[in-house]
């Protein structure tokens, strides 16, 4: 691709992403001020019970006695310098609380995503190849089931089956408590803990990707270039892989980008069920303690993650499909 | 109408969905008769397995009847699902109609706004909204409505875009009808079928969202809900599996029924599409 075009494309997309992030910050600000009661007590994270002197200090610090637009400016400046406030419950800056938990969440959502997309695309491709056969009925059943089942309940049922009844896998945390493991053993330990949460989070998206792959593959298989390939005598397996599947993957990529937000939202539930020490669990604990600065920080951080992920899928799309107009 | 029912009936899953949905509604209506008294009342020893002490589905950690909780919870789930969908429809139809009918700058502005709401993680926003406005049935409904209107706006906009240049709309314009009355009496009725299908699926999503919120402890503290029951059973799952299994099945059946009904409605309202799908 033409490098100057690509840079222009990157700049435009980057600008768009920046505007979205800015809008999220404003959204957070408005939420604090829309809350019933004193914004200072929301920032303090202790509704009604905070020390009046402390609240007075917060009011000064955030300029709560100043007009609204000044406050917004102060807030914007602090967030954009990555100062997400202070959690008085945990006596830690919110940004470092979130950064501590970020790797665990990335591991969980990443594993779930890879599992969902690999299995989903495979099943979908199998189903499209033999419409009406076992793979076809299987994805219909999986889709109907997981569209209708609450994520957290799927997690609990997996715990019940694999941890309580079969005793095969651990049901909570990210690593075994009280044992010191190194090297390969530590990796395996984390992998064992990861299996159930990633499965829970991935199953729903597996169904989504399988259905989407099946539908687009059937659509692409009808097009002229596939008939041409067949007429030229290209082997059927190669047609499916190189001609049909490759083109059918594009909508799947787009859709994965659109759903990134849902994946992260789902991880809050899954982390709560499995006591996985990620951002979701942090949000749940903050919820119980009504620690608003942490909640607002989590909302900001997850939104930024989604924006970044969308940026990556946009780029990927432009790289995979040279026809895509980078000017759009 | 007869025609509609004939086409709907052809989809066996949709008929099954309608039956399940009917039973759930019946359970919600009859809850005070089947299980008189508050579902919060202690009726037996704690942790009784299903079938013991005359309790069909067992009792929870405080000796409350799980079956009573499920029956009373059905009322809240259905109510929240229906009301929040209506609220989301109100927002989505209004914005979509403005964007699709007016076009130009209004369209651009509304679509950017919609895109923004589709980008941000909606469940996290819902949690934040309920937490900040304090958990109550109205804040839950509000939060669900705020995060679920964007698909409606998109669908309605697309319908309005294609309908507004049609001859009957032009005729109405020439006749000097006001814009509002054209939108309400000429365009909207013709855009109704995709909205109806979408609405049935949105009720399903809203029930799932409500259960997730109350699972996290963000439900109305005075109301018994399915999500609350599962949340209460989470920490004692080794001791009392029935506390979390049965409410989950209730959610599953209700949401499945709504999804099936949605598919049936889609078949019945878009006969051309259904025939194509049958042929594929």
Query: What CA–CA distance (Å, rounded) separates B124 from B131?
Result: 11
pLDDT at B272: 57
The dihedral built from the CA positions of residue A267, B251, B232 and A164, taken in this order, carries a sign that is: negative
Instruction: Find tokens 């997400």 and name the residue.
Output: A84
CB A326 within 8 A of CB A314: no
pLDDT at A221: 78
CB A26 within 8 A of CB A72: yes
DSSP B214: H
pLDDT at B279: 38
pLDDT at A328: 39
B277 contacts chain A (CB < 8 A): no
DSSP string, A274-310: HT--SHHHHHHHHHHTT-HHHHHHHHHHHHHHHHHHH
Contact A31 B128 (CB under 8 A): yes
Residue B48, helix vs strand vs coil: coil
Nearest to A217 by CA among A130, A318, A310, A147: A130
Query: What CA–CA distance (Å, rounded) separates B193 from B270?
Result: 8
B248 contacts chain A (CB < 8 A): yes
A268 contacts chain B (CB < 8 A): yes
| Torsions phi, psi for B59 (to 5 deg) | -125, 160
Residues of B in contact with A261 (CB under 8 A): 118-122, 124
For the cut 50, the answer to whether the pLDDT of residue B198 exceeds it is: yes
* Least confidently predicted of A161-170, B176-185, B270-279: B270-279
pLDDT at A325: 54
* Type and span of the H or E element at B279: helix B271-279
Nearest to B155 by CA among B97, B203, B102, B88: B97
pLDDT digits 0-9 by tens, A273-292: 888 888 888 888 888 877 78
Query: Which are the contacts of A256, defined by CB distance < 8 A and separation ≥ 6?
Result: A113, A117, A209, A313
Confidence category of residue B280, pLDDT binned at 50, 70, 90: very low
For the cut 80, the answer to whether the pLDDT of residue A85 exceeds it is: no
CB B258 within 8 A of CB B207: yes
Confidence category of residue B23, pLDDT binned at 50, 70, 90: very high
Contact B255 A273 (CB under 8 A): no
What are the residue ranges of helices labelled H in A159-291? 183-221, 224-232, 236-238, 246-258, 260-274, 279-288
Give me chain B's average pLDDT, please.
84
Query: What CA–CA distance (Å, rounded) separates A43 from A85?
Result: 8
Residues of B in contact with A273 (CB under 8 A): 234
Residues of A in contact with B127 (CB under 8 A): 268, 283, 287, 295
- Give the largest CA-CA distance in chain B: 74
Q: Select the more confidently predicted residue: A21 or B43.
A: A21
B118 contacts chain A (CB < 8 A): yes
Mean pLDDT of B115-123: 86
Query: What CA–CA distance (Å, rounded) separates B59 from A164?
Result: 20
A261 contacts chain B (CB < 8 A): yes
DSSP B64: B
The dihedral built from the CA positions of residue A273, A277, A283 and A285, taken in this order, carries a sign that is: positive
Query: Which are the contacts of A12, defined by CB distance < 8 A and separation ≥ 6?
Result: none
Query: Which are the contacts of B18, defined by CB distance < 8 A and separation ≥ 6?
Result: B257, B260, B261, B264
**3-state SS of B115-131?**
HHHHHCCHHHHHHHHHH
B259 contacts chain A (CB < 8 A): yes
Query: What CA–CA distance (Å, rounded) separates B84 from B144?
Result: 6
pLDDT at B277: 46
State percent of chain A over pLDDT 90: 2
CB A316 within 8 A of CB A253: yes
Confidence category of residue B186, pLDDT binned at 50, 70, 90: confident
Query: What CA–CA distance (Å, rounded) separates A33 from A219?
Result: 50
pLDDT at A2: 64
Query: What CA–CA distance (Å, rounded) separates B133 from B136?
Result: 8
Tokens of A159: 């715990």
For the cut 70, the answer to whether the pLDDT of residue A147 exceeds it is: yes
Query: What CA–CA distance (Å, rounded) separates A265 from A312?
Result: 19
For the cut 80, the answer to whether the pLDDT of residue A84 exceeds it is: no
Nearest to B251 by CA among B230, B234, B277, B274: B230
pLDDT at B141: 94
Which residue of B109, B116, B128 is the best one to mutate when testing the A interface, meaning the one whose CB has the most A CBs within 10 A? B128
Give me chain A's average pLDDT, please.
80
State percent of chain A over pLDDT 70: 88
* Type and span of the H or E element at B173: helix B167-174
For the cut 80, the answer to whether the pLDDT of residue A4 exceeds it is: no
Mean pLDDT of B101-106: 86
Mean pLDDT of A30-47: 69
Question: How far B124 CA sits from the closest chain A CA (Å)?
Answer: 6
A151 contacts chain B (CB < 8 A): yes
Nearest to B92 by CA among B142, B150, B160, B158: B150
| Torsions phi, psi for B42 (to 5 deg) | -80, 125
Mean pLDDT of A300-327: 75
B279 contacts chain A (CB < 8 A): no
Which residue of A23, A141, A148 is the best one to mutate when testing the B interface, meaning the one whose CB has the most B CBs within 10 A? A148
A310 contacts chain B (CB < 8 A): yes
Tokens of A33: 């001020």
pLDDT at B257: 92
Q: pTM value? A: 0.85
Torsion of CA A298, A299, A300, A301, to 10 degrees: 50
Which residue of A32, A136, A152 is the best one to mutate when testing the B interface, meaning the one whose CB has the most B CBs within 10 A? A152
pLDDT at B82: 93
Confidence category of residue B209, pLDDT binned at 50, 70, 90: very high
Instruction: Find tokens 């979908």 and name the residue.
Output: A124
**A–B interface: beta-carbon pairs under 8 A:** 132
B245 contacts chain A (CB < 8 A): yes
pLDDT at A44: 67
pLDDT at A327: 45
Nearest to A163 by CA among B234, B219, B83: B234
pLDDT digits 0-9 by tens, A14-26: 888 888 888 888 8
A156 contacts chain B (CB < 8 A): yes
Query: Which are the contacts of B222, defined by CB distance < 8 A and separation ≥ 6?
Result: none
Instruction: Find tokens 């895509």 and name the residue.
Output: A324
For the cut 90, the answer to whether the pLDDT of residue B239 exceeds it is: no
Which residue of B20, B132, B225, B262 is the best one to mutate when testing the A interface, meaning the one whose CB has the most A CBs within 10 A? B132
Among partner residues A261, A264, A288, which is closest to B217 by beta-carbon distance?
A: A288
Q: Select the more confidently predicted residue: A181 or A142.
A: A142
Query: What CA–CA distance (Å, rounded) separates B161 from B156?
Result: 8
Residues of B in contact with A13 (CB under 8 A): none
For the cut 80, the answer to whether the pLDDT of residue B113 exceeds it is: yes
Contact B217 A152 (CB under 8 A): no
pLDDT at A307: 87
For the cut 80, the answer to whether the pLDDT of residue B41 exceeds it is: no
| Torsions phi, psi for A166 (to 5 deg) | -90, -20
For the cut 80, the answer to whether the pLDDT of residue A47 exceeds it is: no
Confidence category of residue B91, pLDDT binned at 50, 70, 90: very high
Residues of B in contact with A144 (CB under 8 A): 256, 259-260
CB B202 within 8 A of CB A271: no
For the cut 70, the answer to whether the pLDDT of residue A76 exceeds it is: yes
Query: What CA–CA distance (Å, rounded) separates A175 from A190?
Result: 5
pLDDT at A38: 66
Confidence category of residue B278, pLDDT binned at 50, 70, 90: very low
Residues of B in contact with A262 (CB under 8 A): 121-123
* Type and span of the H or E element at A93: strand A92-93
Tokens of A71: 């406050």
Among partner residues B124, B227, B251, which is closest to A299 by beta-carbon distance?
A: B124
Residues of B in contact with A265 (CB under 8 A): 121-124
Residues of B in contact with A303 (CB under 8 A): 119-121, 124
Question: How far A295 CA sits from the closest chain B CA (Å)?
Answer: 7
First-to-final CA distance of chain A: 15
């Amino acid at each position: 691709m033409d490098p100057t075009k690509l840079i222009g494309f990157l700049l435009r997309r980057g600008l768009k992403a920046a505007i979205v992030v800015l809008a999220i910050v404003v959204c957070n600000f408005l939420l604090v001020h829309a809350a019933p009661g004193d914004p200072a007590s929301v920032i303090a994270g202790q509704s009604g019970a905070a020390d009046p002197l402390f609240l007075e200090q917060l009011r000064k610090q955030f300029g709560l006695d100043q007009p609204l637009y000044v406050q917004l400016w102060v807030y914007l400046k602090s967030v954009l310098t990555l100062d997400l406030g202070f959690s008085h419950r945990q006596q830690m800056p919110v940004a470092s609380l979130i950064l501590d938990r970020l790797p665990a969440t990335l591991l969980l959502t990443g594993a779930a995503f890879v599992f969902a997309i690999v299995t989903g695309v495979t099943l979908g491709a199998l189903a499209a190849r033999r419409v009406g056969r076992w793979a076809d009925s299987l994805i219909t059943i999986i889709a109907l089931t997981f569209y209708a089942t609450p994520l957290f309940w799927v997690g609990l049922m997996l715990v019940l089956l694999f941890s309580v009844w079969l005793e095969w896998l651990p049901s909570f945390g990210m690593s075994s408590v009280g044992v010191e493991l190194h090297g390969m053993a530590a990796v395996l330990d984390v992998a064992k803990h990861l299996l159930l949460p990633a499965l829970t989070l991935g199953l729903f998206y597996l169904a989504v990707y399988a259905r989407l792959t099946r539908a687009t593959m059937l659509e692409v298989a009808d097009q002229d270039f596939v008939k041409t390939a067949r007429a030229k005598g290209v082997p059927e397996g190669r047609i499916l892989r190189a001609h049909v599947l490759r083109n059918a993957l594009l909508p799947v990529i787009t859709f994965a980008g659109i759903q990134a937000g849902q994946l992260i939202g789902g991880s809050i539930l899954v982390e709560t069920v499995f006591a996985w020490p990620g951002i979701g669990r942090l949000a749940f604990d903050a919820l119980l303690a009504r620690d608003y600065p942490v909640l607002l920080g989590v909302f900001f951080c997850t939104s930024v993650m989604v924006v970044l992920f969308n940026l990556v899928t946009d780029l990927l799309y432009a790289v995979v499909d040279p026809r895509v107009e980078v000017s759009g | 109408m007869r025609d509609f029912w004939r086409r709907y009936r052809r989809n066996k899953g949709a008929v099954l969905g309608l039956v399940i949905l009917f039973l759930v509604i019946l359970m919600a209506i009859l809850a005070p008769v089947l299980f008189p008294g508050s579902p919060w009342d202690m009726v037996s020893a704690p942790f009784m397995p299903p079938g013991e002490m005359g309790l069909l589905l067992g009792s929870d950690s405080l000796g409350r009847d799980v079956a009573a909780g499920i029956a009373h919870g059905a009322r809240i789930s259905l109510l929240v699902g229906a009301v929040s969908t209506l609220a989301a429809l109100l927002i989505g139809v209004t914005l979509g109609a403005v964007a699709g009918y007016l076009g130009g700058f209004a369209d651009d502005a509304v679509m950017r706004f919609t895109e923004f709401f589709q980008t941000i993680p909606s469940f996290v926003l819902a949690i934040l909204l309920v937490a900040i406005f304090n958990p109550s049935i109205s804040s839950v409904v509000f939060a669900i409505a705020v995060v679920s209107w964007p698909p409606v706006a998109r669908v309605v906009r697309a319908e309005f875009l294609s309908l507004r240049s049609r001859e009957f709309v032009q005729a109405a314009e020439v006749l000097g009808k006001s814009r509002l009355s054209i939108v309400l009496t000429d365009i909207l009725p013709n855009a109704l079928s995709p909205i109806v299908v979408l609405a049935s699926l949105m009720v399903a999503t809203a029930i799932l969202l409500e259960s997730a919120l109350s699972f996290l402890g963000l439900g109305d503290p005075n109301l018994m809900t399915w999500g609350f029951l599962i949340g209460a059973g989470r920490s004692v799952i080794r001791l009392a599996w029935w506390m979390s299994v049965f409410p989950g099945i209730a959610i599953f059946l209700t949401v499945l029924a709504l999804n099936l009904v949605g598919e049936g409605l889609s078949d019945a309202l878009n006969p051309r599409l259904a025939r194509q799908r049958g042929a594929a």
